[in-house]
Amino acid sequence: DGYKQNSFSTALTVGFFRDMPVNKARTYYIAAGLGYAYHNIKDNFTVTQDAANTTLYSVLPEDSIHKNKLVLHCLELPIELRWRNSDAVSHKFWRVYLGFKVSYIFADKAQFTPNGGSKFTLRNDKNLNTWVYGAYLSAGWNTWNFYAYYGFTPLYKSAVMDTGQKVNLNTVSIGLAFYIL
């Protein structure tokens, strides 16, 4: 309750795919890939620790936060069902890619600076799910493509907020995907 994104959260994913055509016209493909993803989530969900090194999770009012972010570094394993109306001559074509990916979070950092306070940083949160997965859709013309992703796995596996409420945050990403052939 009360969770809000407090700035523009950024993400960048780079990777490679291997197309495998499934029809003679070469308009349908299955593609498997490997990639790296960087996520910088800016919100009002804070992660801190008390004197006994117990990790504390809270949702704070935006006016009490100077800076707050969760940075994730992931190795990604996507698989896609692809359709495109390309030909052997032109690289300009319509495409629709439906995919599923498994992501391994290999590094994380939560940073919180309250207004008028000192910065707190926590790395390698034990309550963060190491493996997350979800589905996505990419569609567009040429290199410009709309992209939408929904994570089925919550980011936190066993975290409980200071109010006693279980942390249940799933990832939703909307943006642009650029494909280079």
Each residue's pLDDT tens digit, 102-154: 999 999 999 999 998 889 999 999 999 999 999 999 999 988 899 999 999 99
The rounded distance, in Å, linking the Cα atoms of 162 and 111 is 18
Q: Is the dihedral of CA 16, 40, 174, 79 positive or negative?
A: positive
The rounded distance, in Å, linking the Cα atoms of 39 and 7 is 13
Q: How many residues does the chain have?
A: 181
**Contact partners, residue 147, CB within 8 Å, separation at least 6:** 136, 137, 138, 173, 174, 175, 176, 177
pLDDT computed for residue 143 by the predictor: 85
pLDDT computed for residue 91 by the predictor: 74
Q: Is the pLDDT of residue 34 over 90?
A: yes
Each residue's pLDDT tens digit, 37-81: 999 999 999 998 888 888 889 999 888 889 999 999 999 999 999
| Start-to-end C-alpha separation, the chain | 44
The rounded distance, in Å, linking the Cα atoms of 181 and 168 is 38
Q: Is the pLDDT of residue 32 over 80?
A: yes
Tell me the Cα Rg of the chain. 19
